Structure 1
Amino acid sequence: MIKKLLLFLLCLGCVTTYAETIKTDVLVIGGGASGVSAAIQSARSKVKTLLIEQGNWLGGSLTSSGYCYLQSNRNFPSGIYGEFRKRVVDVYKLRLGYDTTATAPLAFEPAMGAAILKKLTDTVKNLTLKLNTPFIDVKKDGTGWEVTIVENKGKVTVKAKALIDATEMGDVVSKLNVLMTAGFDSRADTKEALAPANATNQIEDISYISILKDFGRNTDHTISKPEGYDASKYVCLKSVDIKKLLNAAKLPNDKYMINWDNCASQYSVTSEDLQLEHRAETFAKARLHTLGLIYYLQTERGFKNLGFADDFKTADHLPYQPYIRENRRAAGVVRMVIDDIYTPYDRGSQLYRTAIAVSDAVPGQHYSEAGVPHINYPPFPAFSIPLGAVVVKDQENLFITEKALSVTHLVNGAVTDPAVQMTLGQGVGAAAAFCAFFGTTTKNLQPRVIQGEILDFKGYLMPFADIKQSDPAWRAIQQVGATGMLKGIQKITGSKADVLFMPDSLVTTAEVKPFFDEIYSRSFIWFNQEKPGQFFTVGNLISFISNMNLRDPENLRDALQKSWKSYYKFDTEFKTDRPITRREFAVLANRFINPFARKVDMSGKILN
Structure 2
Amino acid sequence: MIKKLLTLLFVLTSATTLADTIKTDVLVVGGGASGVAAAIQSARSNVKTMLIEQGPWLGGSMTAGGMCILEANRNLPNGFYGEFRERVKNFYKVRLGYDTTFNAVLNFEPSVGASILKKLTDTVKNLTVRLSTPFTAIKKDGTGWEVSISVNGTTDVIKAKAVVDATEFGDVATLAGALFNTGFDSRKETGEAQAPDNATNQIQDISMIAILKDYGRAADKTIARPEGYEPSLYACLKKIDIKKMLKAGALINDKFMMNWNDCANQYSVTSDDLSPEKRGETFRKARLHTLGAIYYLQAELGYKNLGLADEFPTRDHLPLIPHIRENKRAYGEVRMVLDDIYTPYDRGSRLYRTSIGIGDALPGQHYIIPGAPKIKYPPFPPYSVPLGAIVVKDAVNLFVTEKAMSVTHLVNGSITDPAVQMALGQGVGASAAWCAFFGKTTKELDVRKIQDEVLIYGGSVMPFSDIPKSDPAYRAVQQVGCTGMLKGFRTVTGTTAQMLFKPDTTVYTDEVKPYLNEIYTRSFLWFNKTQPGDDFTVGNLLSYISEMSLTDPETLERIMRANWKSKYNFTVAFDTKRPVTRREFVVLANKYLNPFARKVDLAGKMIN
* TM-score interval for Structure 1 and Structure 2 normalised by the shorter chain: over 0.9
Distance in 1 (CA, whole Å) between partners of 2:100 and 2:194 is 38
Q: Which residue number in structure 2 is paired with residue 248 of structure 1?
A: 248
Moved more, 17-26 or 465-474: 17-26
Q: Which residue number in structure 2 is paired with residue 332 of structure 1?
A: 332
Q: Which residue number in structure 1 is paired with residue 56 of structure 2?
A: 56
Query: Aligned-pair distance for 1:179?
Result: 1.1
Query: Aligned-pair distance for 1:518?
Result: 1.3
Distance in 1 (CA, whole Å) between partners of 2:507 and 2:476 is 16
Determine if contact 1:208/1:287 at 8 Å carries over to the other structure: yes
- Aligned pairs for 1:454-533 (under 5 A) are 454-533=454-533
Query: Aligned-pair distance for 1:498?
Result: 0.6
Distance verdict in 2 for CA 1:272–1:550, change over 3 Å? same
Distance in 2 (CA, whole Å) between partners of 1:236 and 1:518 is 59
Distance in 2 (CA, whole Å) between partners of 1:583 and 1:264 is 50
- Aligned pairs for 1:442-453 (under 5 A) are 442-453=442-453
- Aligned pairs for 1:287-366 (under 5 A) are 287-366=287-366
Distance in 2 (CA, whole Å) between partners of 1:271 and 1:122 is 35
- Partner SS, residue 443 of structure 2: helix
- Partner SS, residue 544 of structure 1: helix
- Aligned pairs for 1:397-476 (under 5 A) are 397-476=397-476
1:44 aligns with 2:40: no
Moved more, 344-353 or 308-317: 308-317
Runs of 4+ in structure 1 deviating by more than 4 angstroms, as ranges, are 13-19
The aligned amino acid for 1:139 is K
Q: Which residue number in structure 2 is paired with residue 197 of structure 1?
A: 197
Q: Which residue number in structure 1 is paired with residue 230 of structure 2?
A: 230
Residues 340-361 of structure 1 deviation map (CA, whole Å, 9 limit, x = unaligned) = 1100000010000000000010
Determine if contact 2:19/2:155 at 8 Å carries over to the other structure: no
Determine if contact 1:28/1:165 at 8 Å carries over to the other structure: yes
Instruction: Give the fraction of aligned pairs with identical amino acids, expressed as a percent.
Output: 66
Query: Aligned-pair distance for 1:239?
Result: 2.4
TM-score, length-scaled by structure 1: 0.97
Query: Aligned-pair distance for 1:19?
Result: 6.3
Q: Which residue number in structure 1 is paired with residue 158 of structure 2?
A: 158
Determine if contact 1:537/1:580 at 8 Å carries over to the other structure: yes
- Partner SS, residue 524 of structure 2: helix
- Aligned pairs for 1:15-414 (under 5 A) are 20-414=20-414
Residues 545-582 of structure 1 deviation map (CA, whole Å, 9 limit, x = unaligned) = 11111111111111011000000011110000010111
- Aligned pairs for 1:512-591 (under 5 A) are 512-591=512-591
- Partner SS, residue 380 of structure 1: coil
Moved more, 183-192 or 156-165: 183-192
Q: Which residue number in structure 2 is paired with residue 5 of structure 1?
A: none
Determine if contact 2:18/2:154 at 8 Å carries over to the other structure: no
Query: Aligned-pair distance for 1:383?
Result: 0.2
Distance in 1 (CA, whole Å) between partners of 2:101 and 2:132 is 36
Determine if contact 2:178/2:330 at 8 Å carries over to the other structure: yes
Query: Aligned-pair distance for 1:494?
Result: 3.0
Residues 275-324 of structure 1 deviation map (CA, whole Å, 9 limit, x = unaligned) = 11111111111111100111111122211111111111211110000000
Query: Aligned-pair distance for 1:143?
Result: 0.5
Moved more, 231-240 or 265-274: 231-240
Distance in 2 (CA, whole Å) between partners of 1:377 and 1:91 is 37
Distance in 2 (CA, whole Å) between partners of 1:267 and 1:496 is 29
- Partner SS, residue 443 of structure 1: coil
Distance in 1 (CA, whole Å) between partners of 2:494 and 2:416 is 22
Distance in 1 (CA, whole Å) between partners of 2:19 and 2:533 is 71
Q: Which residue number in structure 2 is paired with residue 3 of structure 1?
A: none
- Partner SS, residue 490 of structure 1: strand
Distance verdict in 2 for CA 1:528–1:267, change over 3 Å? same
Query: Aligned-pair distance for 1:14?
Result: 12
Distance in 2 (CA, whole Å) between partners of 1:211 and 1:147 is 35
Distance in 1 (CA, whole Å) between partners of 2:541 and 2:14 is 67
Query: Aligned-pair distance for 1:493?
Result: 2.5
Distance in 2 (CA, whole Å) between partners of 1:467 and 1:568 is 16
Distance in 2 (CA, whole Å) between partners of 1:229 and 1:362 is 34
Distance in 2 (CA, whole Å) between partners of 1:493 and 1:182 is 33
- Partner SS, residue 442 of structure 1: coil
- Partner SS, residue 356 of structure 1: strand
Q: Which residue number in structure 2 is paired with residue 604 of structure 1?
A: 604
Distance in 2 (CA, whole Å) between partners of 1:290 and 1:603 is 44
Distance in 2 (CA, whole Å) between partners of 1:249 and 1:531 is 60
Determine if contact 1:589/1:595 at 8 Å carries over to the other structure: yes
Q: Which residue number in structure 1 is paired with residue 6 of structure 2?
A: none
Determine if contact 2:15/2:154 at 8 Å carries over to the other structure: no
Query: Aligned-pair distance for 1:429?
Result: 0.3
Q: Which residue number in structure 1 is paired with residue 4 of structure 2?
A: none
Query: Aligned-pair distance for 1:109?
Result: 0.4
Determine if contact 1:362/1:496 at 8 Å carries over to the other structure: no
Query: Aligned-pair distance for 1:176?
Result: 2.4
Distance in 1 (CA, whole Å) between partners of 2:305 and 2:94 is 26
Distance in 2 (CA, whole Å) between partners of 1:487 and 1:309 is 48
Distance in 2 (CA, whole Å) between partners of 1:367 and 1:76 is 29
RMSD: 1.4
Q: Which residue number in structure 1 is paired with residue 594 of structure 2?
A: 594
Query: Aligned-pair distance for 1:16?
Result: 7.5
Q: Structure 1 unaligned runs (5+)?
A: 1-12
Residues 113-148 of structure 1 deviation map (CA, whole Å, 9 limit, x = unaligned) = 000000000000000011110000000001000011
- Partner SS, residue 24 of structure 1: strand
Query: Aligned-pair distance for 1:17?
Result: 5.2
Moved more, 25-34 or 297-306: 297-306
Query: Aligned-pair distance for 1:585?
Result: 0.6
Query: Aligned-pair distance for 1:495?
Result: 2.6
Determine if contact 2:357/2:427 at 8 Å carries over to the other structure: yes
- Partner SS, residue 512 of structure 2: helix
Distance in 1 (CA, whole Å) between partners of 2:524 and 2:23 is 54
- Partner SS, residue 213 of structure 2: strand
Distance verdict in 2 for CA 1:14–1:540, change over 3 Å? farther
- Partner SS, residue 460 of structure 1: coil
Distance in 2 (CA, whole Å) between partners of 1:208 and 1:293 is 11
The aligned amino acid for 1:270 is T
Determine if contact 1:138/1:147 at 8 Å carries over to the other structure: yes
Q: Structure 2 unaligned runs (5+)?
A: 1-12
Matched pairs, number: 597
The aligned amino acid for 2:452 is G
Distance verdict in 2 for CA 1:447–1:95, change over 3 Å? same
Residues 172-191 of structure 1 deviation map (CA, whole Å, 9 limit, x = unaligned) = 11112211000001112112
Query: Aligned-pair distance for 1:496?
Result: 2.4
Determine if contact 2:507/2:535 at 8 Å carries over to the other structure: yes
